[in-house]
Structure 1
Amino acid sequence: MTKILCPFCLEPLEDGFHGDCPHCGRSLENHNPEGALPLGTQLGERYTVGEYLSADGDGLAYRGVENETRRFVLIKEYFPVTLCNGRSPEGALMPKEGREVLFKTSRMDFQDLYVDLKNLTPATGLSQILDVLEENNTVYAVEENEKGMTLTHYLSLRSRNLTPSEARTLLQPVMEGVIQLHKAGLIHRGICPDNILLPIDGSARLTGYGTLALRTGGSELKSQLYAGYAAPEQYSAAEFSGRYTDVYALAAVTYRLVTGQTPVAAPQRKVRDSLESAHSLENGVPTYFAQVLACAMRLDPAKRMQTVPELMSALTDPSVANAMFERGDNQISTKKILGASMVVIFVLAGLLLWSLLAPRGSEEQTAKPTPTPASAAGAGEASSSDSSDNSDLLIVPDLVGKNYATEIKNSDLYQKYRVVMTEDYSSEVEEGCVISQDPLAGTLQTEETPIIQIVVSKGPNLVEMPNIVGFTQDNAIKLLDAKGIQYRMEIMANDGQYAAGCVAKCELDGQNLEPGRKLDTGNVIVTVYIAGERDDSPTVSVQPAGDPDAASAAPSPTPAA
């Protein structure tokens, strides 16, 4: 028999839900709004529904109780108001006429998201999903309920901004959690102070999970976007979001922590970008730190910092940050860094040459008068000293493009250096050859055994194309992201033979792409066609993340026969 607990004090209720709780005195009458589950509803014979909390485009949220363990939980019910006509007398959700397929596919997206999160959590920095169950023609996700406060509430209690170091420490577990999400092929799309919890005991955790449709403007659901933290690509269903979308939000939260101001909302920035530098708002924010935030919050996803590990490294180490500043007028470019480095090298080389020639000149000048033994001895000591100083200087050789195994590893040319090798995939550099080095070629080193760090190519990263035809857009995105495959998405006309919002076909260079084909993740972009609603308008291109002009230049595909 199901144990019925008071949703306020967790004590057993022998007489059910009516009157007042005999233990805490709280009213057990149902005050949840019409359409929501009544107070005391039992789900799966495991959970008791408590007070209604809130609603969004995905559904309704309630306080709840896990009956067996007698602990509080959060319960989220899939209930898309734009697709539903309410409940039947038995409590089952009723989709609107003509919206049955979209209701079902959106429900699948909701269920798949929370099943993936249940399998992924517990994890550092992520609120745990405890259970996912089906009932009432819908899906319920059960989440842990930690005691604490939101980051929004915490900031309202503070009298000063956080320092960059404090901000990094506070957000580190959240960033680590987002990295785990991305490895699993999931994108949060709703990172903001409202969705970061600070438990009484423990580190910060990210919550506020939602489906792609919930966090995309103009989608079939009532969208939920957080002004100042939502990336610009989230404001249109015709644009594509990715890992860089969460990078934008994490940088925006960091900006809020160190400046005390919410960033200018993305739509306003696209009209006139008036986002001020974090350094100009708060002098205690280092210039490099402010530049990293600006780089991670660029409006163009293709020019934005792409991954959370990059953001974490750049916010921690100024040298890493400088190496990443590749694009943008408000950033220090690599060309400028190289130019400055070359100026320094030439100056040092000139000084070196002068120091080598100086003793000879002094000897010629002193040859006319016969030097005293003392002066000759002094000149000899100076010459010896200069020679000793200059012999310690080594110029870093150029290793880029050389084969590590045959030209570097056992070569006598580089015995004076300690070469540290790491590997990475590259579509441009031949396998086994050096992609990059640090320090740059030509840099002067004074250490006895200078260290040169090199990255050696493993060749192209080849992965098999998964079979995603028939998958929902959200699930297709998760699979492609997990494999690292680059892609653009286009909405195609649907004559009724496809499920709306699902993958109809995939193409590469205009040709049908069969599952199982090996793809170079760094050198190809797959076109994924998403079926629109029946009798949809002509094809609308979704701008790819890596090529801002490709969408407008690409021809519209012919509607499927």
Structure 2
Amino acid sequence: MAETILCPHCLSRVEVGKEQCPFCDKPLVNSNPPGTLPFAALLGRRYTVGRHIATDGEGILYAAVENTGGVRVMLKEYFPVTLSEGRGPDGCVVPKEGREVLFKTTRMDFADLYRSVMRITPATGLAAVLDVLEENDTVYAVLEQVSGETLAHYLTAHPRCMTPAEARSMLQPVMEGVAALHKAGLVHRGVSPANILLAAGGSARLCGYGTLGLRTAGSELKSQLYDGYSAPEQYSPAEFEGRYTDVYGLAAVFYRLVTGQAPVSAVQRKVSDSLLAAQEVEPGVPGYLSNVLEAALALAPGDRLQNVPELMGALTSQRAAESLTRPEPPAPRDGRISAKSLFAGSLVVILVLFLLLMWSILDRNAPTAESQPASTPPASSEPAQIKTIPNFVGLTFLQVNTDPEYSAGYRFDIVSQEYSSEYGNGVIISQEPEAGTTTSEEKKTISLVVSKGPEMVEMPNIVGFTRESAEKELTDNHIKASFFLQENNGDYASNCVVYTDVEPGTFIDVNKTIVNVYIAKERVVYDPPAATEPPAE
């Protein structure tokens, strides 16, 4: 039986080698650049290669189709130009002579990176890696195709400055995605408007995964960095990169959104740091937020905010921002102690010696136990007062902690905070000891469980996801769902999400809402009967 592909144009099933699709009449002949995979080629007996999209120092990006479900995807082929001789007649990637070991090592780095990302996606704010396969003596990563435009393209069409609230809302899922990468031990190193996709519905996702070599100048690969967004340490292979490298990129994107201009390139800043504070560029930026961006864009990694949760908190809360950016008192120069500090220390020593001398004199003159008259027994104390603990459930922690009637007799300790659809944020859910319990303690400690309010989660855009990927995305977001099959007249990819009854981007209470998800049934595609030989005369 002849092998088949899906037409990259109309997704109809066609025999491999056909020069034209019999269903849409569009050409299937190779139109991709020399050295790339041919258009309409079959890869791994599962994917149909589409058009060439881009090439970087690490490899080649193609549009493609997953043949089983008819899902449009992206293919990233590991094909480093500095280490590869070219492609052989059999389609295999040939390493340069003398570079075979390095080619294999970096190929393993590529495979490990995408397999690691595949284990944590789909996830909020990250474009999903769907598959990793090895063929043609190289490695292919299969990526989710996100419909929408890049943030770079959007900013070109919408040059106005965003408000801090708009910028936080847009970048929140991306920051959460980068935090998820860091939790898995990964660093992105390519955070920039070019690698942030604004999907249909407005949600942002980070793509553009790359190995260390691609994101570091002077490496064995032809590097791809982003002026204004790549951190200073990325411009030298001798410097170590870490989570703070992505903090720099996220802060640089935020700076661009609220000021309307990209930060000065790190290379230029290392020569002469002319980066203006965000508030100097755009007076509408609050001072605390400008200080946060300045701290996150520090040239020296040690002077920078160190992780994404710190950055997220500081961009959201002025109090958190001020606690992170408040300058420490300057240390004495050259390690010398100032005269003022020396004088103050001397006074402390003299005072301590004086107190010791007085104590010694008083102790020597104190009467002995034998010379003291017999002491009278202390008067019996009054019996402890018994009180009944009131019911604090339903009151806010602020109420009970500031009410003089409560605070005089009780000490309140929050032992945990939980999401609740019944109680609002800050309201007490339960207490220990329970209401009605009696106590004789003058200041009884009451342990409280306080509500964080409903667990509100933004509905992700899962249209086009396979059922398995959609279930994982919803589970990761704690969203409950019911799945229903949708009739498929050929317009939808089989076993993929057609629509949901909750619009993407809507915030829902996950403890009260069940989302209905509609999955396309198997699509019916007409396969013409094979041509038969005319009967012999």
Same fold at TM > 0.5: yes
Summarize deviations over 1:290-348 as a string: whole Å, max 9, x none.
110110000000110000000000001111111011xxxxxx41449xxxxxxxxxxxx
The answer to whether structure 1 residue 4 and structure 2 residue 5 are counterparts is: yes
Asked if 2 retains the 8 angstrom alpha-carbon contact of 1:36 and 1:52, the reply is yes
Letter in 2 for 1:249: G
Asked if 1 retains the 8 angstrom alpha-carbon contact of 2:228 and 2:266, the reply is yes
CA separation in 2, counterparts of 1:319 and 1:247? 20
Letter in 1 for 2:242: G
The answer to whether structure 1 residue 333 and structure 2 residue 334 are counterparts is: no
CA separation in 2, counterparts of 1:302 and 1:159? 33
Aligned to 2:170: 170
Following superposition, the deviation at residue 94 of structure 1 comes to: 1.0
Following superposition, the deviation at residue 44 of structure 1 comes to: 0.9
Letter in 1 for 2:139: V
Following superposition, the deviation at residue 93 of structure 1 comes to: 1.0
Asked if 2 retains the 8 angstrom alpha-carbon contact of 1:3 and 1:68, the reply is no
CA separation in 2, counterparts of 1:415 and 1:62? 70
CA separation in 2, counterparts of 1:17 and 1:316? 57
Q: 1:334 to 1:7 in 2, by over 3 A?
A: same
Following superposition, the deviation at residue 421 of structure 1 comes to: 8.0
The answer to whether structure 1 residue 40 and structure 2 residue 40 are counterparts is: yes
CA separation in 2, counterparts of 1:104 and 1:156? 40
Q: 1:105 to 1:279 in 2, by over 3 A?
A: same
Following superposition, the deviation at residue 28 of structure 1 comes to: 1.9
TM-score by length of structure 2 reads 0.61
CA separation in 2, counterparts of 1:415 and 1:302? 47
Following superposition, the deviation at residue 9 of structure 1 comes to: 2.0
Gaps of 5+ in 2: 331-407, 417-442, 446-537
CA separation in 2, counterparts of 1:416 and 1:15? 79
Asked if 1 retains the 8 angstrom alpha-carbon contact of 2:16 and 2:42, the reply is no
Asked if 1 retains the 8 angstrom alpha-carbon contact of 2:161 and 2:260, the reply is yes
Following superposition, the deviation at residue 173 of structure 1 comes to: 0.5
Instruction: Count residues with an aligned counterpart.
Output: 341
Asked if 2 retains the 8 angstrom alpha-carbon contact of 1:4 and 1:16, the reply is no
Following superposition, the deviation at residue 29 of structure 1 comes to: 1.9
Asked if 2 retains the 8 angstrom alpha-carbon contact of 1:49 and 1:62, the reply is yes
Following superposition, the deviation at residue 206 of structure 1 comes to: 0.4
CA separation in 1, counterparts of 2:307 and 2:229? 16
Aligned to 1:306: 306
Summarize deviations over 1:409-443 as a string: whole Å, max 9, x none.
xxxxx988656689xxxxxxxxxxxxxxxxxxxxx
CA separation in 1, counterparts of 2:24 and 2:280? 53
Letter in 2 for 1:10: L
Aligned to 1:316: 316
CA separation in 1, counterparts of 2:230 and 2:4? 43
Aligned to 1:184: 184
Query: Where do 1:492-507 residues align within 5 Å?
Result: none
Following superposition, the deviation at residue 2 of structure 1 comes to: 4.2
Letter in 2 for 1:192: S
CA separation in 2, counterparts of 1:54 and 1:297? 30
Following superposition, the deviation at residue 13 of structure 1 comes to: 2.1
CA separation in 2, counterparts of 1:221 and 1:132? 21
CA separation in 2, counterparts of 1:36 and 1:161? 40
Letter in 2 for 1:9: C
What SS does the aligned partner of 1:172 have? helix
CA separation in 2, counterparts of 1:181 and 1:15? 39
CA separation in 2, counterparts of 1:2 and 1:169? 47
Following superposition, the deviation at residue 146 of structure 1 comes to: 1.5
CA separation in 2, counterparts of 1:313 and 1:3? 52
Aligned to 1:279: 279
Gaps of 5+ in 1: 326-331, 337-413, 423-448, 452-561
Following superposition, the deviation at residue 231 of structure 1 comes to: 0.1
CA separation in 2, counterparts of 1:175 and 1:300? 21
Following superposition, the deviation at residue 114 of structure 1 comes to: 0.5
Asked if 2 retains the 8 angstrom alpha-carbon contact of 1:42 and 1:48, the reply is yes
Asked if 2 retains the 8 angstrom alpha-carbon contact of 1:296 and 1:304, the reply is yes
What SS does the aligned partner of 2:39 have? coil
Aligned to 1:204: 204
Aligned to 1:249: 249
Letter in 2 for 1:261: Q
Asked if 2 retains the 8 angstrom alpha-carbon contact of 1:82 and 1:222, the reply is yes
TM-score by length of structure 1 reads 0.58
The answer to whether structure 1 residue 152 and structure 2 residue 146 are counterparts is: no
Letter in 1 for 2:255: Y
Q: 1:304 to 1:24 in 2, by over 3 A?
A: same
Q: 1:297 to 1:17 in 2, by over 3 A?
A: farther
Q: 1:34 to 1:307 in 2, by over 3 A?
A: same
What SS does the aligned partner of 1:4 have? strand
Aligned to 2:117: 117
Aligned to 2:489: none
Following superposition, the deviation at residue 5 of structure 1 comes to: 1.2
Summarize deviations over 1:86-135 as a string: whole Å, max 9, x none.
11111111111111110000000000001111111011100000100000
What SS does the aligned partner of 1:141 have? strand
Letter in 2 for 1:62: Y
CA separation in 2, counterparts of 1:181 and 1:17? 42
Q: 1:283 to 1:70 in 2, by over 3 A?
A: same
Following superposition, the deviation at residue 8 of structure 1 comes to: 2.0
Q: 1:314 to 1:415 in 2, by over 3 A?
A: farther
CA separation in 1, counterparts of 2:240 and 2:155? 32
What SS does the aligned partner of 1:51 have? strand
What SS does the aligned partner of 1:140 have? strand
Asked if 1 retains the 8 angstrom alpha-carbon contact of 2:4 and 2:16, the reply is no
CA separation in 2, counterparts of 1:144 and 1:157? 25
Query: Where do 1:456-535 residues align within 5 Å?
Result: none
What SS does the aligned partner of 2:208 have? coil
